[in-house]
Amino acid sequence: MTTSYKVMPGPEHFLPPSAASMGIRLPDPGQAHIHGTIVSEEEAMEQAARQFLSAKVPTIFPGPLVLWAWNDKAAKKAKAIRYLYETIKESVDSSQHAMLIPMPDYRPKYPKINPEIEINPNHPNLTIWHNKIDACMFVGVHCHQANLSLKIIRGGTNCYTIAMCAQAGHEDAMLSFRDATAEKILRLADWVKKLKGSVAPPA
């Protein structure tokens, strides 16, 4: 199936269609997608690094699968995520503000969450708007909750979304990797280092 639909930064509209329903398909192993077009993983690495380096507030959102050390793999990924965050922080200039904000819970919190310190999949835009986040990466968030968040963000904000997915990838992100491992996250950090200084910071 061919489609002219592109998964682009929004705001698209209140309830954007799921990208899958618009004909966007998932990458095969070794591949990734950018705006719904299948590309090599290396191309997506470069593009993701450029997004981080050119954003005002590049942010990583780790979810429960990596926040909790429930097995060795999770603990390794957490280490790699921290390294990626530190690398982004060191690679951007003083006008940029890198953030690392957890999604510790999927349950809606009443009366409200504190958007400065956490993100919740039922109303992720509170965190995006509050911190003026313009590029973000989800990692360690279960599929359904990631899809929900990615769609809401695309619907209501102009934030560029990246998914470092441990399964088959996310159509609803603007850029998605698949089969995430600690090594893959570290490779992305290497790309950030490599491109440091060569990407124009935000105007």
Partner 1 sequence: MSKERIKIAEELFDIMPAEYQDLVKRATYGNEQRGWKDIGNAKELIEEHSLCAGCPESMAFRYILASLPNPEDTVMVGSTGCTSLVFPHVAVHNIHSLFGNQNAIASGLKRALTVRFPDRPKDVVVLAGDGATVDIGLDMTLQAWFRQEKFTTICFDNELYANTGGQESGLMQKGFVAKMAPVGKTFEKVRLPEIARESGCHYVVNCTVSKPNLIEKVIKNAVHIAREIGPTYLQLYTPCILEIGKNSMEGLQEMRDSEKPTERFAYKEYVSEPAKELLAELAAKEKERKAEAKKQLAGQTA
Assess contact for 117 and 111: CB atoms under 8 A.
Answer: no
Contacts of residue 6, Cβ cutoff 8 Å, sequence gap at least 6: 35, 36, 37
CB 101 to partner 1: min, Å? 7
Nearer to partner 1, 62 or 169 (CB): 62
Nearer to partner 1, 14 or 110 (CB): 110
CB 82 to partner 1: min, Å? 4
CB 100 to partner 1: min, Å? 5
H or E element: which one contains 79? helix 72-91
Nearer to partner 1, 13 or 144 (CB): 144
Distance CA 191, CA 203 (A): 22
Nearer to partner 1, 44 or 152 (CB): 152
Closest CA to 157 of 124, 202, 116: 124
CB 34 to partner 1: min, Å? 27
- Residue-wise over 21-35: b if at least 16 C-beta within 10 A, else e? ebebebbeeebbbbb
Contact footprint for partner 1 (CB under 8 A): 62, 66-70, 74-75, 78-79, 81-82, 100-102, 104-105, 107-111, 114, 117-118
